[in-house]
Amino acid sequence: MTGWLGPEAWQAVALSLKVSTWATVVSLPFGIFVAFVLARWRFPGWHLLNALVHAPLVLPPVVTGYLLLIGFGRRGPIGGFLYDTFGITLAFAWTGAALAAATMAFPLLVRSIRLALEAVDPKLEEAAASLGASAPWVFATVTLPLIVPGILAGAVMAFAKAIGEFGATITFVAAIPGETQTVPSAIYAFLQVPGAEGQVIGLVLVAITISLGAVLLSEWLARRVADRISGA
């Protein structure tokens, strides 16, 4: 089939959506926590933590994938523990693709939430605390609602980034059709096959549609939430 997408291409689309969804959902709580730490706390090692969070943005994706393979492979310190204790395999599995995508998207998620936190007026939190509210309650009832637009924007941008992740994913989990072959790796594979241009164009159009749709959805959701918060 050279016109529209064949079964292998649709498998890659479905797997990419699955991987990106899990990568975003699982990393979101960690992203909120790390963003809060970077936005509100100063401590020895703050700059190191900030550098580590943003490292995937500047490191070659293949290097990130190789580090994941060393750490989370079956013989790695973390991957070996997970396999021996819980029977969890990450390398060369879709779960590993989700980990690689989450790692590459994490800096975008954290940065968006951190900017939202830094924009919150501290006087609002101080007013709630002065009325006797505990720090967790102040965060849950005052801070969190105010940063929802930033959380939504960061989550959707992380999802879009995860959809397009290639280098770290193919290094960590390879590109096994139906198992770990996501849209970018499927495009690369079809480029090596003579006469498969139709599959490549179809996958490119799907990737563009999903990514642009995610950005537009992010803007719309953030605007709706901001209007609701402001009482408009």
Q: What is the pLDDT of residue 228?
A: 64
Domain presence at residue 198: no
CA distance 171 to 66: 6
Domain count for the chain: 1
Residue 37 lies in a domain: yes
Domain assignment of residue 224, yes or no: no
Q: Is residue 228 a part of any domain in this protein?
A: no
Q: Is residue 162 part of a domain?
A: yes
Report the CATH number that the domain containing residue 151 is assigned in CATH: 1.10.3720.10
Which residue segment(s) compose the domain that 46 sits in? 19-180
Residue 198, both tokens: 């139709």
Task: Please tell me the predicted confidence (pLDDT) of residue 231.
Answer: 56
**Is 227 part of a structural domain of the chain?**
no
Sorted by sequence, the CB contacts under 8 Å of residue 81 that are 6+ apart come out as none
Q: Tell me: the pLDDT tens digits for 136-193?
A: 888 888 899 889 888 988 998 899 899 999 999 999 999 988 889 999 999 999 999 8
56 residue type, one letter: P
CB atoms within 10 A of CB 16: 27
Q: Which residue matches tokens 């879709």?
A: 94
Q: Give the number of other Cβ atoms within 10 Å of residue 188's Cβ.
A: 14
What is the distance between the alpha carbons of residues 124 and 229, in angstroms, rounded to a whole number? Answer: 14
- Averaged pLDDT for residues 209-215: 85
CA distances from 164 to 95, 97, 169, 199 (A): 16, 12, 10, 17
Measured distance CA(176)–CA(178) in Å, rounded: 6
Residue 2 pLDDT exceeds 60 = no
Q: Tens digit of pLDDT for each residue in 46-61? A: 999 999 999 999 999 9
User: Within a domain: residue 80?
Assistant: yes
Please tell me the predicted confidence (pLDDT) of residue 232.
Answer: 45
Place 226 in a pLDDT band, splitting at 50, 70 and 90.
low
> What's the mean pLDDT in 14-36?
95
Q: pLDDT tens across 71-128, in order?
A: 999 889 999 999 999 988 899 999 999 999 999 999 999 999 999 899 888 888 888 8
Orientation angle between helical segments 144-164 and 7-40, nearest 10 degrees: 140
Whether residue 187 lies inside any domain: the answer is no
